[in-house]
């Protein structure tokens, strides 16, 4: 059968369009599976990832479960992301052990995994973009000690005991107190899943059980807000130190209700995660840890330009 020139032209055009479609479908796709989505911290991480995607001309998606207690949901999200056959993957583990089988699957498929915020207890990730959480929580302990006169009882509300951030922030604070401040006693360490309502109730129960308590450390945004609200509801005047920022924490620090907090660089975490994934795809050598930095802020320095730049709403 002979085709007319116009029919042949149409066929060539269709084939060209199909090729264009294939090439656009093959753009570099990098999903980021986060520990959560609701906290302003994660929204700031997302904005950094989106900026890197724009700068580096790759496609990025960002998702996480509604709360940081939903390990099973995060594992489902990780499985769904891998099913899309991405070129690389960013992952902030709620439970690094639970994620290991899927991460091994990614490794077997030669999909580079970049851990972010919360590391993974394995050598599968090519790098981890994170805050030095042990050092940051140690600084929070030093600030707490100074504010309570280097003696008395304190307590800690942590988001979880399964993620690297939860473990490192708890241990960073508690171990610094034990090592440097013999007259300070950590009377309670409790876990609120990063949920401010649950952390509020935990705080109230700690305050009821410890009438002499001088201070509390909240190890992430939800934990810190819970400590703040719990102390308010119990009408207890204690020294509160938080972690992260967000609108409510910033307002509490500015007013003096919260003595201060550690801020990370969430936009930098998001940006560096995507940047590291692209470098891994190019075969570039990456450090084991990409330290994205931290600061302690209080009402006296929170308007300092270098600190204001990493505080987020």
Q: Which of 4-13, 60-69, 110-119, 284-293 has the lowest mean pLDDT?
A: 4-13
| Predicted TM-score of the model (pTM) | 0.79
Report percent pLDDT > 90 for the chain: 83
Token pair belonging to 23: 């090439």
pLDDT in tens, 31-54: 999 999 878 899 999 999 999 999
Confidence of residue 281 (pLDDT cuts 50, 70, 90): very high
Residue 19 has pLDDT above 70, yes or no: no
Domain locations in the chain as residue ranges: 28-131+266-292, 133-263
The crossing angle, in degrees rounded to 10, of helices 164-180 and 133-147 is 40
Give me the DSSP letters along the chain: ----HHHHHHHHHHHHHHHHHHHHHTS-EEEEE-S-SSSHHHHHHHHHHHHHHHHHT-EEEEE--SSTT-HHHHHHHHHHHHHT--S-EEE--SSHHHHHHHHHHHHHTT--EEEESS--SSS-SSEEEE--HHHHHHHHHHHHHHHTTT-EEEEEEES-SSSHHHHHHHHHHHHHHHHH-TTEEEEEEEE-TT-HHHHHHHHHHHHHH-TTEEEEEE-SHHHHHHHHHHHHHTT---EEEEES--HHHHHHHHHTSS-EEEE--HHHHHHHHHHHHHHHHTT----SEEE---EEE-TTTTTSHHHHTT---
Superfamily of domain 133-263: Response regulator (3.40.50.2300)
pLDDT in tens, 203-259: 999 999 999 999 999 999 999 999 999 999 999 999 999 999 999 999 999 999 999
pLDDT in tens, 52-85: 999 999 999 999 999 888 999 999 999 999 999 9
Q: Pick the residue with more confidence: 122 or 154? A: 154
Chain Cα centroid distance, residue 160? 13
Fold matches, 28-131+266-292 and 133-263: yes
pLDDT of residue 11: 44
Q: Which of 23-27, 192-196, 259-263, 274-278 has the lowest mean pLDDT?
A: 23-27
pLDDT in tens, 81-133: 999 999 999 999 999 889 999 999 999 999 999 999 987 878 899 999 999 99
pLDDT of residue 12: 44
Average pLDDT, the chain: 91
In whole angstroms, what is the distance from residue 237 CA to residue 214 CA? Answer: 8
Q: What is the CATH number of domain 28-131+266-292?
A: 3.40.50.2300
Residue 26 has pLDDT above 80, yes or no: no
């Amino acid at each position: 059968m002979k085709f007319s020139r116009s029919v042949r032209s149409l066929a060539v055009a269709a084939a060209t369009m199909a090729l264009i479609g294939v090439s656009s479908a093959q753009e570099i796709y990098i999903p980021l599976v986060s520990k959560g989505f609701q906290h302003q911290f994660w929204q700031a991480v997302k904005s950094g990832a989106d900026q890197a995607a724009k700068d580096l001309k790759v496609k990025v998606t960002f998702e996480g479960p509604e709360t940081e207690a939903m390990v099973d949901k995060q594992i489902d999200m990780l499985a769904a992301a891998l099913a899309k056959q991405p070129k690389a993957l960013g992952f902030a583990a709620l439970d690094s052990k639970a994620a290991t089988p899927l991460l091994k699957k990614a490794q077997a498929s030669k999909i580079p995994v970049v851990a972010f915020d919360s590391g993974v207890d394995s050598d599968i990730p090519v790098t981890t973009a994170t805050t030095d959480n042990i050092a940051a929580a140690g600084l929070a302990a030093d600030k707490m000690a100074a504010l309570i006169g280097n003696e008395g009882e304190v307590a800690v509300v942590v988001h979880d005991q399964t993620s690297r951030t939860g473990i490192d922030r708890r241990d960073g604070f508690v171990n610094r107190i034990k090592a440097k401040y013999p007259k300070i006693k950590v009377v309670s360490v409790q876990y609120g899943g990063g949920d401010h309502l649950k952390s509020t109730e935990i705080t109230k129960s700690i305050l009821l059980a410890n009438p002499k308590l001088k201070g509390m450390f909240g190890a992430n945004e939800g934990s810190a807000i819970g400590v703040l609200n719990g102390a308010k509801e119990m009408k207890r005047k204690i020294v509160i130190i938080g972690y992260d920022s967000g609108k409510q924490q910033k307002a509490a620090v500015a007013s003096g209700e919260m003595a201060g907090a550690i801020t990370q660089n969430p936009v930098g975490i998001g940006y560096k995660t995507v940047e590291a994934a692209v470098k891994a795809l190019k075969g570039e050598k990456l450090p084991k840890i990409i330290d994205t930095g931290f600061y302690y802020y209080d009402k006296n320095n929170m308007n300092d330009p270098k600190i204001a730049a990493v505080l987020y709403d």
